[in-house]
Structure 1
Amino acid sequence: MQKAVAVLGGGIGGLSACYYLSKSSQVSKVVLLEATGRCGGWLRSTRREDGAVFEHGPRGVRPFGPAGQNTLNMLSELGLEREILAVPHDHVASKNRFLYVNGQLHRMPSSLSGVVHTVPPFSRPIILSVLKEVLVSKGKQEDECVHAFVSRRLGSELADIAIDSVCRGVFAGDSRQLSVRSCFHSLYSAEQAWGSVLLGMLMGKLMGSVVPSELAQRAQKERWAQWSLRRGMQALPETLHEVLRGKERVEVHQNTPVKSLSRKPGGWEIKLEDGATLKVDHVISAVPASALALLLPPAAHSLSEQLRAIPTVTVAMVNLEFEGSVLPVKGFGHLVPSSEDLGLLGVVYDSVPFPQHNRRGDPTTRLTVMMGGAWFEETFGHPGEVKEQVLLDRASRVLRSHLGITATPSWSKAAVLKNCIPQYHVGHWKRLEMMRRYISDHGLPLTLTGASYDGVSVSDVIFSGRVAAECLTGKA
């Protein structure tokens, strides 16, 4: 029997779920409901007439693992191969990544020599911590914070500096709260299976269910470290949106906020803010967990409580353009541990990995300063009350102090991305288990997908959209 499915939320997760649903003959109709006037969620790019591109959300995407391969497969299907800007493993942006510690930049080790010798800001060779890790006994907890896991297995110095910084760069979050089981599942699994992260990485094989396309095979052969798109990352949701609009069984509705979901025999009645109603057999929710909690009927209050318990953080992102080449170093960028500056997460040197996004003509330098995250309110106050000039001034001070850049930017844009990154705190896996068991036990025709649950990266979210669609259509 064919099903009518509503997908809530037109971010990359919702668009992906619709895309994969549209391939199935078991779905009679797919209705995408997006509350705002644009699809794409946090994938947002500014394209200037002079050719410059600035990202106000995710930028370089990593091609690794089943999720990374799946995204490249999607790009192939959408005809976006020629749009890809690939950054190989031996590119200066791949080899040079920096930490700002004790008031100066330090290049992270990227070769054997950097691992076997003492490299500041670390007080001893990293290889010693790695080799000693094999002798550390396996943890007995079902989950623990990332900082505790790394401290236990690799020592407090790597946890305090490197892992603290990585958690701030990837999740804009606090390594002392984030779950190792949910945020770095490969590390957790390696310890569980082999009793050692090192042995697990050496002996374990990444099992994937994705057959790589020619593009994904090319990425492996050429050893891509990351990629972007010529017209910016926003080109991906734009292309998906265009493809979906051309499909007969798909309806895309923008400026269509949902007011509530009511359980009816055989499905749901969806009430829209404008008073209209829609009846469907199944709902795939790709909106943030807290937004779904507001839509569910009172009878599902325990599920709503679990959804509301998944926290999010707000990030301030400042894009800057300078005339000429102003960077004292070349690389991807630098991260900042919480011990150095709570409110500053890091700086991305956008012009280095993707010079194709610079404007035409004379040389320029594009940078992005990322601030706030789990420390946003402590640093800047309430997200709704922060003035753009405050963020611009803070970013300018950072660039002057960290990189010696005293020039005035020729172009700038500051944005506050409210509640943009879900935080998988310790026990997140158990919460997911409870929510999905509730949905199953109560026979709710509801599927959870998107960044709130199984991964915050672009590829994770796209893959979760595929899994949601294929579980519903019986392909998974």
Structure 2
Amino acid sequence: MPMKTVAVLGGGISGLAAAYYLCKSPQVAKVIVLESSDRFGGWLRTLRRLDGTLFELGPRGVRPAGAVGRNTLNMVEDLGLSAEVLPVSYSHVSSKNRYLYVNGKLHRMPSGISEILRTVPPFSRPLLFSLASEILVKRGKEDDESIYSFVSRRLGKELADIAVDSLCRGVFAGDCRNLSVRSCFPPLFNAEQKRGSLTLGLLLGSGPTPQISAGPLAQRSMKESWAQWSLKRGVEALPESLSDYLQRSGRAQLQKEAAVKHIQPSASGWKVHLEDGVISADHIISALPAKALSCVLPPTCQSLIQQLQDISSVTVAVVNLEYEGSVLPVKGFGHLVPSSEDKGLLGVVYDSVPFPEHNRPSGQTTRLTVMMGGAWFQEEFGAPETVTTEHLLARATESVSCHLGVTSAPGWTHVALHKDCIPQYRLGHFRTVESMRSFIKKKNLSLSLIGSSFDGVSVNDVIFSGRTAVEDLFGGGV
């Protein structure tokens, strides 16, 4: 049955991706994207300075690996962006060198076989020992577990305290003691379930992966072994190209500053109430954050509203800094900081190393991004409403001088406060999501849930969630 009109709530990257896949389906007559802010792209935001320098305020590089990585590269190619891609290979210094700041010093993370055979500080034994003994650890009995407990049990407390604590701060800005291993790192959970061991699971594979064929760009990424990629005009060029594509498609209508007040079921699907009018839609794909969706649903969806409100998010301060000259004591991607070292400071990315193309065209400069807060924001900085940019900037520059020995002051700075930007998948998150989707099915609501609140927080994950929702809607490929 042809769907006449599909409304997409939220014009971030997942909403735009869903609209893109909808426009590829012959069964859709019209797609309406409703975005409450004055721009599309959500957390993908690039600050472009007049002299040609770029700074990322959100995600700064996308990984090409796996089915979801191939899927994004296929989209990038379809949008005509192949020539814009800036790849970073695994052999690049920023892929090989990733640091941890522990006990007041930078330590390079072991990479490569030779380095897991010997003891590398801050660890007290070779990583190979942990991996070898891991094969003998019994399978967990629970249907979910915190990342911290899972890694301590399988690989030892030291790796959990230092490496995994830092990694979860870098990826989720969250506390690995409260995050679910099943929802945050499905491959690890599945490896234990299917193979009884992470080492065996990762070597032998541990479950079905979506079948996504690799187009020429994705094939190139494998041949050249890319670790990550960006775009010449920054990551925001992706949502910009998507909205251009949608506008040219003739089937999509994009509305900015169109906050949804509430939605109510109607005979044909839904009535979507905006500030200045009502839109009728046969189906809604919601790419809104869980809490935002909970505020617009009708009272008949009380149990769904409750569960959406249970998915919390954290606030992250992102401070971009530019220094004159080459100021880094080491070359690499950046460094992460475990919570035992400094709760407020999550990590520092050395942007100029992976993407020198985004530097000022003339004269040597160093661009850095300092990430702060996350699950510790309130405790370290107080309420997001009361914190000043001066305070955040001072904390960021002080960390750069302390961790990296940079004595000069930055010549240019920018502070962004991203309120509730990364959802936290707590223990049992998978059950909450299953239960929400079964409520929608049982009540026969023409509603799909996509975006970072549900099935993964990475750029690739949320784009893929848009694709999956459209495939589920029309049963089959898009």
Q: TM-score range by the shorter chain?
A: over 0.9
1:16 equivalent in structure 2 = 17
The secondary structure found in structure 1 opposite 2:249 is coil
2:385 equivalent in structure 1 = 384
Q: TM-score, normalised by structure 2?
A: 0.98
How do 1:154-165 and structure 2 match up within 5 A?
Answer: 154-165=155-166
1:251 equivalent in structure 2 = 253
Residues 19 and 240 in structure 1, CA contact (< 8 A), matched pair in contact too:
yes
1:115 equivalent in structure 2 = 116
How do 1:62-73 and structure 2 match up within 5 A?
Answer: 62-73=63-74
Deviation of 1:113 after TM superposition, in Å, equals: 2.0
Unaligned ranges ≥5, structure 2: none
The secondary structure found in structure 2 opposite 1:63 is coil
Structure 1: which amino acid aligns with 2:181?
V
Aligned: 1:51 with 2:52: yes
- State how far apart, in whole Å, the 2-side matches of 1:342 and 1:404 are: 20
Deviation of 1:475 after TM superposition, in Å, equals: 1.7
How do 1:21-420 and structure 2 match up within 5 A?
Answer: 21-204=22-205, 207-274=209-276, 276-420=277-421
Offset from partner CA, 1:103-139 (integer Å, 9 cap, x none): 0000000122211111100011111010000000000
Offset from partner CA, 1:309-367 (integer Å, 9 cap, x none): 00100000000000000000000000000000011100000000000000011100000
Unaligned ranges ≥5, structure 1: none
- State how far apart, in whole Å, the 2-side matches of 1:186 and 1:401 are: 36
Aligned: 1:2 with 2:12: no
Report the aligned-residue RMSD.
0.8
- State how far apart, in whole Å, the 1-side matches of 2:74 and 2:43 are: 21
Residues 106 and 121 in structure 1, CA contact (< 8 A), matched pair in contact too:
yes
Deviation of 1:207 after TM superposition, in Å, equals: 2.8
- State how far apart, in whole Å, the 2-side matches of 1:58 and 1:207 are: 24
Residues 97 and 334 in structure 1, CA contact (< 8 A), matched pair in contact too:
yes
Deviation of 1:39 after TM superposition, in Å, equals: 0.2
- State how far apart, in whole Å, the 2-side matches of 1:278 and 1:414 are: 37
- State how far apart, in whole Å, the 1-side matches of 2:470 and 2:446 are: 13
Deviation of 1:36 after TM superposition, in Å, equals: 1.1
- Aligned length in residues: 475
- State how far apart, in whole Å, the 2-side matches of 1:85 and 1:142 are: 40
Offset from partner CA, 1:364-404 (integer Å, 9 cap, x none): 00000000000001011111111111011001110111000
The secondary structure found in structure 1 opposite 2:321 is strand
1:456 equivalent in structure 2 = 457
**108-117 vs 197-206, which deviates more?**
197-206
Deviation of 1:162 after TM superposition, in Å, equals: 0.3
Structure 2: which amino acid aligns with 1:148?
S
Deviation of 1:208 after TM superposition, in Å, equals: 3.0
- State how far apart, in whole Å, the 1-side matches of 2:12 and 2:263 are: 20
**164-173 vs 204-213, which deviates more?**
204-213
Structure 1 residue ranges, 4+ long, deviating more than 2 angstroms after superposition: 205-208
- State how far apart, in whole Å, the 2-side matches of 1:259 and 1:399 are: 43
The secondary structure found in structure 2 opposite 1:90 is coil
2:426 equivalent in structure 1 = 425
- State how far apart, in whole Å, the 1-side matches of 2:252 and 2:400 are: 47
Identity rate, percent: 59
Residues 27 and 473 in structure 1, CA contact (< 8 A), matched pair in contact too:
no
- State how far apart, in whole Å, the 2-side matches of 1:472 and 1:154 are: 41
